[in-house]
Structure 1
């Protein structure tokens, strides 16, 4: 069966399958199960029909309440849209600075040498954000075998990138691979300016030439290093902060690795 990293729609530029990545045990993330995307508010009728054919039945919206209100997701037959807003909000749906630098200090979590990486670090330490991430994982743990899930923000970069990093980290994928997947968003928007989308072979070339040790490539360390150095690994973050059990993690890996 042919698999494509980029899934093309009329109303998106950054809808991707996160399947196929190899983990530290030589297993691979299953294709056609977990998708990441930019906004789903501009989907066409044809897009909706395609998503229905793909059996995408859960849509985790990572955007703020106000973003969801201003540009609501298009809904296709059989889909359940879940509010999984990542950023802390007040009662009016406005963004709240939910910084956890003190928490980081008390738990001996090292500072990341990247401005964006530090933001990501603060986000995954935020109880409000952890609640959103937990809802995504809970949805994945209960997703029927023949169905798929998509999660997204507005551009499909920051909030979606953080969520992807946690999912791939949970599946045992290495940091460099996670960073390369994260950086693909920049490449796709560059292609978007040219009014064309890359083929799968072009995307493979993009990944191979990426330098994940410089610039934005280091941002994802805000997640991977925080989990490894601050918690001693994903299992501890998953159980201590997201509220799941060790068995849940085993089930998660069994569901999405092959």
Structure 2
């Protein structure tokens, strides 16, 4: 899995999530990428990204997140960007949690589990999930696709799990791709800075173990979301309103 990571300078968790084999022996196209946000992409990062022929970007962040950390993809004429105007709560739930919770290890895990139970049914997430699938249905054989959120692990992880499952990738491989965030991100480098920023913004001291629980992923989180979803096929067709012919076109576009 380590060969899937692109060590970009200002973009965390950027990696390929295509090129997996399916249960039927076919292979997922090697032009699918997932990551965190792009506002701090360096010039070298942009050069690397330019070589990937990116034509579609599914940005799962809320409007407030996009305003705070603008992405350079917006305005790129050759790139279609899928994003939602659904604002949700006045303040992102994770900021409320960071300010008001006791920030114990158990409370963080409980917060993350409950967040995952809500994640598949958030209107903004659903809209971008839907548009991402529809964009892939129309994609060409050389068109690069990126799905991302702020950290590239929760909302992004959910989209990738749904897409790979629909394409016929086995559950163990889908889970490995999801959990690989814990290896793909250099927590030793980013955790101290995030802890300092949180103290400045909230006055809260957060322990190393607790911070990693917040920044990483666990199988239990994905399981919680999948439990709420039930049958992923029905979720795509019912909750997201995707038609069978659209999903067949996604498969034709992405399976070799």
TM-score (norm 1): 0.72
The alpha carbon displacement at 1:62 in A equals 1.0
Q: Provide the alpha-carbon RMSD of the alignment.
A: 2.8
Which residue does 1:72 correspond to in 2?
A: 70
How many angstroms apart in 2 are the aligned matches of 1:36 and 1:181? Answer: 10
The alpha carbon displacement at 1:4 in A equals 4.0
Cα contact 2:57–2:146 (8 A) shared by 1 = yes
Cα contact 1:28–1:257 (8 A) shared by 2 = yes
Which residue does 1:133 correspond to in 2?
A: 129
Cα contact 1:15–1:35 (8 A) shared by 2 = yes
The alpha carbon displacement at 1:78 in A equals 2.8
How many angstroms apart in 1 are the aligned matches of 2:116 and 2:174? Answer: 14
Higher helix share: 2
How many angstroms apart in 1 are the aligned matches of 2:49 and 2:3? Answer: 15
The alpha carbon displacement at 1:176 in A equals 2.2
Which residue of 182, 187, 193 corresponds with 2:189?
193
Runs of 4+ in structure 1 deviating by more than 6 angstroms, as ranges, are none
Which residue does 2:157 correspond to in 1?
A: 161
Q: What is the SS of the residue equivalent to 1:89? A: coil
Per-residue displacement from partner, 1:129-148 (whole Å, max 9, x unpaired)? Answer: 32221111112112222211
The alpha carbon displacement at 1:191 in A equals 6.0
How many angstroms apart in 2 are the aligned matches of 1:143 and 1:44? Answer: 27
Cα contact 2:129–2:159 (8 A) shared by 1 = yes
Cα contact 1:124–1:223 (8 A) shared by 2 = yes
Unaligned runs of at least 5 residues, structure 1: 98-112, 195-214
Task: Call closer, same or farther: CA 1:156–1:96 in 2, change over 3 Å.
Answer: closer
Q: What is the SS of the residue equivalent to 1:139? A: helix
How many angstroms apart in 2 are the aligned matches of 1:133 and 1:117? Answer: 20
Per-residue displacement from partner, 1:214-238 (whole Å, max 9, x unpaired)? Answer: x8122111233444xx3xx333221
How many angstroms apart in 2 are the aligned matches of 1:116 and 1:174? Answer: 25
Which residue does 1:211 correspond to in 2?
A: none
Q: How many residues align?
A: 213
Unaligned runs of at least 5 residues, structure 2: 95-108, 191-216
Task: Call closer, same or farther: CA 1:234–1:219 in 2, change over 3 Å.
Answer: same
